[in-house]
Amino acid sequence: VLDWLVIGGGIHGTCISRFLTAANIADGETLRVLDPHPEPLRLWNRFGTACGMAYLRSPSVHHLDVDPYALDRFAESSWPEGAEPPFRPPKDRPAFSLFRAHCDRVIRERGLESLRIRGRALALRNGGNHIVAETDAGDFRARNAVLATGSGERPRWPRWARQLREAGAPISHVFDPDFSRERFSEPKPIAVVGGGMTGAQLAAALVAENRGPVTLIADHPLKTSPFDFDPCWLGPKCFGRRPGESADGWEARVRAARRDGTVTPDVADRLRTDLREGRLAIMDGQVRSGEFRNSETRLTGGFSPLGEVGASSGRKIERFVAEGPIILATGFDSRVIGGRFLETAMAEFDLKTTPEGRPRLNRDIRWGPGIWTTGVLAETALGPQARNIVGARHAARAIVATAESE
């Protein structure tokens, strides 16, 4: 029987395995990380590459290793002179390539790869004094299971987009397993749907690579914010229940502190330049339906062409005709709990949810006896930063602190 089985080997699962081994709570005998991919962080690396992410949004102190300054030191000692700047303001946001190189180093030097089992958890069963994870690589028994399954396997396909795909329209999602910008080698007009950070970076990358005239369709006139949650939550001023605050009130405050769908100021500047120089068009509007006929896709919804990032032109057109491929950058399924695996775990252990469909957690990030959460699953305990890299660090620290004290 293992002490710890971490289910999911993305940023969260890998970070937790690093913290548990660094604190000597677990080692190569007592801990395993279960993940279906051939190497750690497969989805993270794929998504960042697919959308052309040049720099992270989070600061240099948010990464996989325990010492917050490990990435700064790695950049000083290992980043080649003359390479792209390792960090960009504000708060020293690392280059994606630097962050990846640092992850690779931590995984290699700390032996995290050898903790991995390749497989997918299908169900969790109650074995009395331990948990049984039924997986496609056999059964595993553990006293503790950490649910680090993320949302990465569930890209969001709006209904109109699914209908277009069924009708044979050239539509894909930037988070599809086989997505690559290289696929768009003929210079044809490209429409990107989604006005958040992923869509904005993708549109800018397609423009920079001259892949064709690009139109970005955003359901708001592009909102700017350095981070995707209110950073006040990283400190005690915002974090923590207020005196007399109900569970519902706290959850509402957590939700309101997310800044999803916003774009960093540097990426907004790039779009601004591309727009001014006529290499990019931006339509403010929400697609309601689509029709694919004679190799054209008509998107209906009411769109207002932007004359300037952040400001609507006031003009309105009902229909947008896409003459080439459409790429969705519509994020992930917004349901916090998705997929059969979590559903079976909930039924077996009688795990409760809030009216909003989030795990109803115990006093910490435990959902049931020995069942720990991280990422979006832990949002009601860890706040709006739960799904970010810093959320993985907070979850890992919480697990270590409890394991040391119990």
Ligand X SMILES: Cc1cc2nc3c(=O)[nH]c(=O)nc-3n(C[C@H](O)[C@H](O)[C@H](O)COP(=O)(O)OP(=O)(O)OC[C@H]3O[C@@H](n4cnc5c(N)ncnc54)[C@H](O)[C@@H]3O)c2cc1C
Residues of the shown chain interacting with ligand X in the complex, contacts defined by CB under 6 A: 7-13, 34-37, 42-44, 47-48, 51, 53, 56-58, 62, 120-121, 148-153, 198, 341, 375, 387-390
What HEC string does 51-105 produce? CCCCECCCCCCCCCCCCCCHHHHHHHHHCCCCCCCCEECCCCEEEHHHHHHHHHH
In 10 A of CB 201, how many CB atoms?
26
Q: CA nearest 191: which of 172, 216, 158, 209? A: 216
| 38/128 with CB nearer ligand X | 38
In the numeric block, the tokens 């604190």 are attached to 23
| 182/406 with CB nearer ligand X | 182
End-to-end CA separation in angstroms for the chain: 19
Q: How far is the CB of 50 from ligand X (least distance, A)?
A: 8
Q: How far is the CB of 198 from ligand X (least distance, A)?
A: 5
| 12/394 with CB nearer ligand X | 12
**DSSP class of residue 279?**
S
- For residues 14 and 35, the answer to whether their CB atoms sit within 8 Å is no
Q: How far is the CB of 174 from ligand X (least distance, A)?
A: 8
Q: How far is the CB of 268 from ligand X (least distance, A)?
A: 16
| 23/117 with CB nearer ligand X | 117
Q: How far is the CB of 215 from ligand X (least distance, A)?
A: 21
Widest pairwise Cα distance in the chain: 66
Q: How far is the CB of 324 from ligand X (least distance, A)?
A: 23
| 288/335 with CB nearer ligand X | 335
Spatial separation of the C-alpha atoms in residues 131 and 37, rounded to whole Å: 23
Q: Helix 96-109 vs helix 11-22: angle between axes, to the nearest 10 degrees? A: 40
| 292/394 with CB nearer ligand X | 394
Interior/surface letters 24-60, b for 16+ CB within 10 angstroms, e for the rest: ebbeeebbbbbbbeeebbbbbbbbbebbbbbbbbbbb
Alpha-helical regions (H) of 277-405? 340-349, 379-382, 389-405
Instruction: Determine the residue type at 260.
Output: D
Q: How far is the CB of 34 from ligand X (least distance, A)?
A: 5
| 31/121 with CB nearer ligand X | 121
Instruction: Determine the residue type at 148.
Output: A
Q: How far is the CB of 87 from ligand X (least distance, A)?
A: 12
| 95/283 with CB nearer ligand X | 95
Q: How far is the CB of 372 from ligand X (least distance, A)?
A: 13
Look up residue 380 and give its two tokens: 């009601």
Spatial separation of the C-alpha atoms in residues 207 and 201, rounded to whole Å: 10
| 120/188 with CB nearer ligand X | 120
